[in-house]
Amino acid sequence: VGKKVQAIYLWWHKPVIDKELLQSLPNLKVIANSGVGMDHLDLKLVASFGVKMANAPHAVSSSTADTGMALLLASARRLVEAHNISISPSMEYCEADILGVKVAGATLGIIGMGSIGYKIALRAKAFEMNILYHNRTRRKVQEEQAVGATYCKKIDSLLQQADFVMLVVSLTPQTHKLIGKRELELMKPTATLINISRGAVVDQEALVAALQTGVIQAAALDVTSPEPLPRDHPLLKLKNVILTPHLGIKTDKATYMITEEAVENILAALSGLPLPSEVLPS
Amino acid sequence: GPDLKVISTLSVGFDHLALDEIKKRGIRVGYTPDVLTDATAELSVALLLSACRRLPEAAEQVKSGGWTTWKPLWMCGYGLSDSTVGIIGLGRIGQAVARRLKPFGVRKFLYTGSGPKPESAAEFGAEFVPLMRLAEESDFVVVTCALTPATQGMCNKDFFGRMKKTSVFVNTSRGSVVNQEDLYNALANGQIAAAGLDVTTPEPLPTDHPLLSLKNCVILPHIGSATYATRSTMAVLAANNLLAGLRGEPMPHELKL
């Protein structure tokens, strides 16, 4: 059976692509990933077997940007807390005013201004947010002006000014634990951290401590380390945290488009044609 | 009492006031439009996103341990890309909602109300349509109209019956615009996919109300304008309306009766 396999369509890190698997599939030509993140793959190892890799960058960007905004707004208005109060069978709550913060005029700091980050900026602009961004490279002036975003060459400057910090980077050795104790302490005590990138971009222990002691006000996390979190994890108990189970791409359309992108890449690889979204080891 | 000269309401809605009687007695009314538009529009979009992406339901799965491993269709919701959004009541709040939804990739805006508003609609290329056509063609329905005799119970069995099975219904206007029993049935029977309500009848709902048991219904305790800054501004405005009324001076925002 191993000799027949020419393509793998990878769903959520399964199967695990290691040396043993690659050795058992001599005719494997391509691995297509169901998403844009490739941090779970050893790109050099796969390439060394002459196997091409592809991700699905176009399918994910809108739905993931929507998730980022959904978390930002839900956090600002304490939405999950308010819903739970509304549906609670207990009679304790009477006229509790769930006061939140206004998003218009607040400062959003986007860390990682790739296609998803840029889509977030477009959405945030319509909410009249003041937008700062930090990225490996600066975007073109016209792109900045279109969303009214100001470049922060130093991440510190963004962290000190933002009311909402949104993480939209891909996970690489450089972004691993990008947000740690130092970065959290630079943030305002009234600020909210939103993570839609990868759990490992944040030093999770430092984040728990920061949330417990009021170093930052709140967090909304669509990604954690690991996923799911163990049942006794402190993040599950914190009142000022919204946790969602990696919903980034979970819409009917995105799921369909991801598969379409994967199939396009697989067919191209099998026909010896260039892949629409090939990922090379850097 | 017979000495009542001024009523100052901390809201933009005035459906709770017996306007005929008030006018007859020559009582003046102050209210708080405009200052709460942004906060209410933000809450409306927050509610829409939470309902279509199943935020409270998914958050509960994380807490309860229902999230075990990743499955492709688990907790899948609906996206705004290429969608049609129907706004019932393209007033200040309705327009502010449309403005915020536009960059989410909405393909088309529809709206309905007592009459077309071409100047307001132009910004979004919104098309004025009859209520039932809005129900039939919208992927997302957002209700931001005032409660009047014309809009009372407007969203009923007939309305929900015409909506798409994949559609999401959001109400941040007044509970009575919706026939709540018909909404419950539509949600329970899969006639529509999900709903988000900031307003209900009554408020709060009794703790055993069937709507509270639906997984596809996000319910909030009327927090449309509930931000520190907005409530502060509203309070100051309401106080100034009241004082001006008592002094016989023009109010910052007087309701014309």
Catalytic status, residue B16:
no
Instruction: Please determine, for residue A87, whether its predicted confidence score (pLDDT) is greater than 60.
Output: yes
pLDDT tens per residue, chain B (257 residues)? 889 999 999 999 999 999 999 999 999 999 999 999 999 999 999 999 999 999 999 999 999 989 987 777 899 999 999 999 999 999 999 999 999 999 999 999 999 999 999 999 999 999 999 999 999 999 999 999 999 999 999 999 999 999 999 999 999 999 999 999 999 999 999 999 999 999 999 998 998 999 999 999 999 999 999 988 999 999 999 999 999 999 999 999 999 98
Size of interface A-B (CB pairs under 8 A): 179
At the topology level, CATH places domain A60-243 in: Rossmann fold (3.40.50)
Q: How far apart are CA A206 and CA A182, in angstroms?
A: 9
Residue bearing the bigger pLDDT, B104 or A2: B104
- Distance from the Cα of B124 to chain A's closest Cα (Å) equals 13
B169 SS3 class = strand
Residues of A in contact with B228 (CB under 8 A): 99-102
Residue B43 touches partner A, C-beta closer than 8 Å: yes
Average pLDDT, chain A: 94
Contact at 8 Å (CB) between A265 and A259? no
Catalytic status, residue A95:
no
pLDDT computed for residue A57 by the predictor: 87
Map out the domains of chain B with their CATH numbers: 6-31+227-255 (3.40.50.720), 37-65+76-219 (3.40.50.720)
pLDDT computed for residue A220 by the predictor: 98
Q: How far apart are CA B29 and CA B17, in angstroms?
A: 9
The total number of residues written for chain B in this structure: 257
pLDDT computed for residue B191 by the predictor: 97
Which A residues 5-44 touch B at CB under 8 Å? 11-12, 34
Domain A2-55+251-271 and domain A60-243, same fold? Reply is yes
Contact at 8 Å (CB) between B133 and B90? no
Q: Please state whether B34 falls in left (phi above 0), alpha (psi between -120 and 50) or beta.
A: left
Closest CA in chain B for residue A236: B63
ipTM of the complex in this document = 0.94
Residue A12: pLDDT band with limits 50, 70, 90: confident
Residue A190 touches partner B, C-beta closer than 8 Å: no
Q: In this structure, what DSSP letter does residue A27 have?
A: T
Distances (CA, A) of A222 to A12, B197, B198, B225: 15, 24, 24, 27
Cβ contact (<8 Å) for B99 and A245?
Answer: no
Cβ contact (<8 Å) for A247 and B205?
Answer: no
Please compute the mean of the pLDDT values over residues A123-148 and round it to a whole number.
Answer: 97
Residues of A in contact with B123 (CB under 8 A): none
Cβ contact (<8 Å) for B221 and A11?
Answer: no
Q: How far apart are CA A179 and CA A165, in angstroms?
A: 11
Q: How far apart are CA B226 and CA A240, in angstroms?
A: 18
Closest CA in chain B for residue A106: B229
E strand segments, A128-246: 130-134, 149-151, 164-167, 192-195, 218-221, 241-243
pLDDT computed for residue A92 by the predictor: 60
- Distance from the Cα of A124 to chain B's closest Cα (Å) equals 8
Residue A99 touches partner B, C-beta closer than 8 Å: yes
The continuous run of DSSP H or E covering A182 comes out as helix A181-186
Residue A235 touches partner B, C-beta closer than 8 Å: no
Return the residue matching tokens 């305790």.
B221
pLDDT computed for residue B240 by the predictor: 96
pLDDT computed for residue B68 by the predictor: 86
Which B residues 66-125 touch A at CB under 8 Å? 67-70, 72-82, 99-105
| A97 CA to centre of own chain | 32
For residue A228, is the peptide bond before it cis, meaning its omega torsion is within 30 degrees of 0? yes
Residues of A in contact with B69 (CB under 8 A): 12, 228
E strand segments, A83-151: 107-111, 130-134, 149-151
Question: What's the one-letter identity of residue A238?
Answer: L
Which B residues 218-237 touch A at CB under 8 Å? 218-221, 223, 226-231
For residue A15, is the peptide bond before it cis, meaning its omega torsion is within 30 degrees of 0? yes
Q: How far apart are CA A108 and CA B242, in angstroms?
A: 37
pLDDT computed for residue A98 by the predictor: 83
Contact at 8 Å (CB) between B30 and B8? yes
pTM over 0.90: yes
Cβ contact (<8 Å) for A245 and B68?
Answer: no
Does the domain at A2-55+251-271 match CATH 2.30.31.70? Answer given as no
- The residues spanned by each domain of chain A are 2-55+251-271, 60-243
pLDDT computed for residue A76 by the predictor: 97
Q: How far apart are CA A52 and CA A279, in angstroms?
A: 8
Please compute the mean of the pLDDT values over residues A146-170 and round it to a whole number.
Answer: 98
Smallest Cα–Cα separation from A168: which of A223, A217, A215? Answer: A223
Which residue of B50, B59, B99 is in closest CB contact with A126? B99
pLDDT of A255-272, one tens digit each? 899 999 999 999 999 999
